[in-house]
Structures are given as C-alpha cells and as structure tokens.
Structure 1
Amino acid sequence: MESTKAAGSQVFLGIIGVGVVGNAFLEQLGRLPYPPKLILLARSSKTVSAPAPEYSPCVPFAVWDEAVKLPQLVHSNALPPAEIAAFLASAPGKAILVDNTSDLTLARAYPLFLERGVSIVTPNKKGFSEDMALFNQIFSSAAQGNAAVHHQCTVGGTLPVLSTLRDLVATGDQITRVEGVLSGTLSLLLGDFMPGNGTSEASWSSLVSHAKEIGHTEPDPRDDLNGLDFARKLTIIARVIGMNVSRHDSFPVESLVPDELSRLPSSSAGIARFMEELPQYDGVMEEAKREAKKQGKILRYTGSIDVPSGAIKVGLQFVEAGSAIANLRGSQIVNIYTKRYGVHPLILQGGGGGGEITAMGILADLLKAIELLK
C-alpha cells in the first residue's frame, strides 16, 4: 500500500473531456486511497489548471461545475494540445494525459505528448484507427519518450479484447479469425427488430427513435447506424494482431443510413429531418428480415477479420438461430479463432459500455500506467 502511495504522489494528471464518462471517471478517481495529482482539467471551451510551479492547489476530483469553482486555479479558454503537452511535461514528476474525448485533432497530437514523456490513457478510437502512419508514430513516440499508451477501452468497452489479443500474439498463438458484434447500440436495435427467440412487429424507424429518446444512440443516430465506429474498432483489432490496415474506411462497411439521408447536415435541424424521414425506408430492413427468416436465420450487424486472406468487412449478416450472436440484445461479443482455439473459439461477451462501466475501464488503464511509471 505504501508503494502505491509513493507512486501516486509522483504522478501528475491532466484530463480532457468531462461529459458523462469524464464525470464518472472523476468521481471514481476521487475514491482512490492515493490518487495522482490532478493539475489540469479541460473541456471543449475552457481549461482549469493548478498554478505552476507549485502546482498547488490541485484541481479537485469533482464534476466539472464543482471543479471549476476554486478561484485559486488558473482559468483559461481551451488550450491547444501543444500548450497542454508543455504544461504536463513541466510537472516535477511523471505525467499522464487522460483523453475522454473523441476528438481527432487531439488524437493526432498524441506524439507531441509522448515524445515529451507524457503517457496517454484514452477510450478515443481516432488516433488508433486513422492513417497507419499515425498509429505507428504514436507507439514510436512512446518509446522515444519512455511513456506508456493504454487504450483498452477503444474496443469493447471494459471487455478485455485488446489485452487478450496481445497475450495470444505474445505467447506465440496464431490468430486466424476474429468476428462478432462490437456495437452495443446496433446489438440492441437488431435484437429488438428480430429477436433471437420470439417475434417483433416494431418497425425499424420506431426502434431507432425510441433508442435515441432514452439515450442509447449518439445524439445523431447516424453515427451509430453508418457502421464507421464499428469499423474503427475492427481496424484497431487488426493492427493489434499485426495486420497492416491503412484506414478504418479502407474495407467494406455497410451503412444502415439511407444514402439520401446521409447527406443531411449534422445540425439539430438535419437530425430532426433524418428522424422524420427514416420511416420511409423501413421496407429495406423489413425485406432483410424476411429473407433471413426464409433461410431460418437471424439478422444481425456484425464484423469480421479473416487473417489469412486479410479480408475485413462490417455489415448485416444472417447468423445461425440459437448462436451466441443471434441471442444478443444490447451486449457485445467477440469470437477469437486461433491455432490453439480452433474449433471452439475464445469468446468474450458482455455489456462493456455506459458511463460508469467505461469510466471503470479507463481508471483500470490509468492504474496500469501508474504502475509502469514507478
């Protein structure tokens, strides 16, 4: 316990992103017996930080509205990544940036932090699924700066997908195929649209509308329905197991957004119009459900990586009735086939997402990073 205390006292923390996940993370972080020193907290429009060079008082572990109340803190507008990297790197000890955003600009700046010895902990998929050059630069910069990178929550939430794959590769196993459902939203929607056992008369558009109302989709449901977030996760998996995938949009991704509606702006008016016009396209999904039923199968939205051929695809698939994927409703599943796990795959399944659960996964990554930095 004393070693944990000592390590915590030497680690300085910056957090960017204080939405649902970020606030849950702050609350969990504050319950640690010996938390690291929080010296910077930022959101899209504002930053608060501990005054240098004393770095005291630290930013309190509280929701944003409470954390920003201390007048002794330095209050400023949003800072560019280079300034944040310089601030964290100047701390008198090891520093870690926790990025709780989905900001591509920040993800592209990870090498700036890592080169200066600032470690990265994040659920942000962008830096690990854009150009392969950025992916490689992130890890080469980490080696150069003797910093750590932990991004377990970029795939499967708290499901140990990436750590399991890394363990398999490190111990000499040969991964041949990875397949599954890596979108809790699409798992929920398809599970309600065509239950694995039983029937449903609900239209596709009504299910999307209900899921949006109760907060189970992104503010713009097209961000779930276009499959690109799912494709980013498969890209990260493929790269972790050693495949050279140029980008998350370099392989077939079937969008469930009608082409005409994909062109609508992402403004509130555009989203409202998308929801209003979506019922006109219910027939497309109904036809897919009828065809699956005719074949005695279940309609699901899945992704797969065939390692020997290098083929990756994301989209609707007819799966065997009674299978684990067919019985999904809201949870995620990954089937991993290897030389050792040949006929019977290694299966990882669970909810994996949500504010509290995702925050827990980020905190677990942070604790691993702190342990490495001792």
Structure 2
Amino acid sequence: MHEVFFESITKQLNVFITGVGNVGERLVEQIKQQKKYLKDNLKINLRVVGLSNSRTMIFNGGGISLKNWKEDLSNGEKASLEGFFENAKSLNLRNSIFVDVTANKDVAGLYEKYLRESIAVVACNKIACSSTFSNYKELKRLSLKYNAPFLFETNVGAGLPIIDTLGNLIASGDKVTSIQAVLSGSLNFVFNNFNDTTKFYDVVKQAAAEGYTEPDPRIDLSGVDVARKILILARESGVTMDLEDIENIPFLSKAGLESNSVDDFYQTLIDDESHYQSLFASAKAKDCQLKYVAKFDNGKASVSLQEIPKGHPFYNLEGSDNIVMFYTERYSQQPMIIKGAGAGADVTASGLFADIIRLGNN
C-alpha cells in the first residue's frame, strides 16, 4: 500500500505563457499533444494556467482547456505585463513557471519580480541574459535565494542543448578554454544562399520572408545578435563580461552600417552589391565558404565574417544550422561539438518545452 501511494504521486506544473505568436503557439500545441505522455511516463501533470499575447490574456487556476485556446484568448481581458504578473502571483500555485516567448525588454525587466515570488522563469528572450553583467548576476542570485529556477536554453541555438551541456561541463569541474561557433541561423542561411549568380538584397529578403531574420534585419546582419549569444556562453563559462567587451568586426558596407531605417538599409544592399560580391569572390578564390563566426578564447570574445577552408567543421554547415565547438581542459584535442537546426519555430518551441520538462524532473 505504502509503495502504491508513492508511485502514484504526480508533480503538477502550472505554466504561464506570455507571447503566443509563432513560437508560443507551437509550444502550446506541443504541450497539448504531449500532455498524456508526460502524465503517464514522467508523472508530470502539466497545466497551462495563463496565456497572453500583446492584446489579450486569460487565466484559469484549474488549467485552461487547450481545445479552443485561441478563441478563448481572443475573448480574454485586455493584456498588461503587470496584470499578467499580478494574476500569476495571486493564483499562488505551487510549481508555477513563467514562460517568456517574446523579444520584449519590458517583459525581461519583470523576471526579478517573478523570481522573488518563487515563480520559475523559462525564457527564449535573450535581453535579460545579455544585459549588464550585474543584472545577469542578480537574476542568478534571486533564482538561488527563492529556489526558483531560471532557464534560458533557447537563448543560444534554439532547441539545441548548448547551454545545458555547458552547465554540465562546468558543474562536473571542467573548464572551458575556448569556444568557436556559428550561432546565427539567419546569417548562415544568407551566406549559404549568396553567390555570384544571386543578389545579396534578394537573399536577405528571402531570409526575412522565411522568418529567419528579425523584422529589422540589421539586428542580425550587424552581428549584435551573435555577440549577445557568445556573451551568454562566456558568462555561463564563468567569465565576467559585458556586450561592449566583444569585438564586433562588421562586414556590412559603410552605408549599410549608417542606415537610419529598414527601408534605407535594404536600399544600401542594392546600391552596394559590388561590396558583397567582393566578399564572395575573395572566399571563392581560396575555395572557402563564408561563415559568420563567434569566438571566445582566453577571456576575450569576437564576432566576424570568416573564410572557412575545406575540411573545417564549419565548412559544410547547411541551411540555417548552428554549430558550437567547446574546447575544455578535458576536451583539449578534439572539441565537444553540438550541431543542428539553430532557427525555426518548432525547434525553438521544443527547446522551451525541454526547459519546462527539466523543471518537472527536478
């Protein structure tokens, strides 16, 4: 009898999701699909108790029915970030998890409040972890103090287990000596499709149309997004570093860097086609591939466009794939390599889902 009782205990997770656009919608659908599996095989009862987009929000302490959730959400109360937090707080459910599927600075600014209420935070939003080092450390401190996990696997490489693997290396006493990585699905897509028979403008437009770039492609093409990712990996390796410490060597034309709007920027891509063709011609002459590479070595980090020779692990990286090579004291000769799809709604949603399940297994 005693054993039967313990075997039947199920851990209940109460999930509040803000940002149910492209990725958020896939996450809700994945949860709906796997609900029974989690209960039967992992003894996790996963309930979505709060949902919000930029317009409306809904709550149900007993769990929102995921059958017609979109319709229910469209009839919800007016959304507000503070209101969403207050509802999560007042419901006061054990094992509450706030999931941020936005790229919103104001949402990232609320993590501190959630953690102080012992509400775990799962984020694909990179803003908090790439903000000032003091803010990053404070969120880590609050997470420990209030026993509220703060997980952000999808900050780097979408659903690839990059941050989790790095954490396991560090926790087991290994030390990272250097990291080499291709961390932008959008830039990899651009340079895999750009050649002397295509136009740089057309390839960037295609990347935007297929959802690989931010609505403002300058964020991707300026290297800022990749700089944020290598910053997060450096910090997770135990290094004190801020965004301005990273050397960012631009490949954009001068006019492209100085453009004042998205439309202006696109026009510079047309005007400066010869600049981009010269980058391709230089790589082709050496039988190299163009890849946008992030490096961390000896406490210093950089991001830049590189000519990658045949035989290098980055050379055949396809589509929008990402790759990370960790060189550590234990992996000193042959690096630990993690490689795979580094962009896309489904894989990003599954990365968020994996973080949620990780909390259920804790």
| C-alpha distance in 2 between matches for 1:263 and 1:76 | 42
Report the equivalent of 1:201: 197
CA deviation vs aligned residue, 1:24-80 (integer Å, no higher than 9, x gap): 000011121144232211112322222xxxx34x3232576323266xxxx332223
Q: Partner amino acid for 1:27?
A: E
Report the equivalent of 2:66: 61
Secondary structure of the structure 1 residue equivalent to 2:247 = coil
Report the equivalent of 1:227: 223
| Alignment partner of 2:214 out of 210, 215, 218 | 218
| C-alpha distance in 2 between matches for 1:333 and 1:316 | 15
Secondary structure of the structure 2 residue equivalent to 1:133 = helix
Deviation (angstroms), 1:273:
4.0
Secondary structure of the structure 2 residue equivalent to 1:244 = coil
| C-alpha distance in 2 between matches for 1:14 and 1:69 | 17
| C-alpha distance in 1 between matches for 2:269 and 2:23 | 29
Label 1:17 to 1:316 Cα distance change in 2 as closer, same or farther (>3 A).
same
CA deviation vs aligned residue, 1:97-135 (integer Å, no higher than 9, x gap): 011111111112211100110001111111101101111
Q: Is the 8 A contact 1:12 1:88 kept in 2?
A: no
Report the equivalent of 2:290: 299
Report the equivalent of 1:197: none
Q: Is the 8 A contact 2:327 2:335 kept in 1?
A: yes
Secondary structure of the structure 2 residue equivalent to 1:347 = strand
Q: Is the 8 A contact 2:52 2:73 kept in 1?
A: no
Q: Is the 8 A contact 1:252 1:312 kept in 2?
A: yes
Report the equivalent of 1:320: 309
| C-alpha distance in 2 between matches for 1:63 and 1:181 | 39
| C-alpha distance in 2 between matches for 1:209 and 1:3 | 54
Q: Partner amino acid for 1:236?
A: I
Secondary structure of the structure 2 residue equivalent to 1:156 = coil
Deviation (angstroms), 1:182:
0.4
| C-alpha distance in 2 between matches for 1:143 and 1:281 | 50
Deviation (angstroms), 1:276:
3.4
Deviation (angstroms), 1:299:
2.1
Report the equivalent of 1:27: 29
Report the equivalent of 1:125: 126
| Alignment partner of 1:358 out of 319, 333, 348 | 348
Asked whether 1:12 is paired with 2:45, we answer no
Q: How do residues 128-277 of structure 1 correspond to structure 2 at under 5 angstroms?
A: 128-193=129-194, 200-246=196-242, 248-264=243-259, 270-277=261-268
Report the equivalent of 1:115: 116
Q: Partner amino acid for 1:334?
A: V
| Alignment partner of 1:286 out of 277, 280, 293 | 277
Report the equivalent of 1:39: 49
Structure 1 gap ranges (5+): 195-199
Report the equivalent of 2:333: 343
Deviation (angstroms), 1:204:
1.7
Deviation (angstroms), 1:222:
1.7
Q: Is the 8 A contact 1:108 1:134 kept in 2?
A: no
Q: Is the 8 A contact 2:255 2:268 kept in 1?
A: no
Deviation (angstroms), 1:291:
2.6
Deviation (angstroms), 1:187:
0.8
Deviation (angstroms), 1:368:
1.0
RMSD (CA atoms)? 2.3
Aligned residues: 348
Q: Partner amino acid for 1:338?
A: T
Q: Is the 8 A contact 2:212 2:344 kept in 1?
A: no
| C-alpha distance in 1 between matches for 2:247 and 2:119 | 36
Report the equivalent of 2:42: none
Deviation (angstroms), 1:15:
0.6
Report the equivalent of 1:49: 59
Q: Is the 8 A contact 2:16 2:50 kept in 1?
A: yes
Report the equivalent of 2:98: 97
Secondary structure of the structure 1 residue equivalent to 2:238 = coil
Q: Is the 8 A contact 1:85 1:118 kept in 2?
A: no
Secondary structure of the structure 2 residue equivalent to 1:36 = strand
Q: Is the 8 A contact 1:85 1:116 kept in 2?
A: no
Structure 2 gap ranges (5+): 40-44
Label 1:138 to 1:279 Cα distance change in 2 as closer, same or farther (>3 A).
same
| C-alpha distance in 1 between matches for 2:247 and 2:9 | 49
| C-alpha distance in 2 between matches for 1:18 and 1:94 | 21
CA deviation vs aligned residue, 1:167-204 (integer Å, no higher than 9, x gap): 1112222211101100111111112225xxxxx52122
| Alignment partner of 1:367 out of 330, 336, 357 | 357
Q: Partner amino acid for 2:292?
A: Y
| C-alpha distance in 2 between matches for 1:360 and 1:328 | 22
Q: Is the 8 A contact 2:118 2:146 kept in 1?
A: yes
Q: Partner amino acid for 2:342?
A: G
Label 1:206 to 1:80 Cα distance change in 2 as closer, same or farther (>3 A).
closer
Deviation (angstroms), 1:371:
2.5
Q: Is the 8 A contact 1:24 1:359 kept in 2?
A: yes
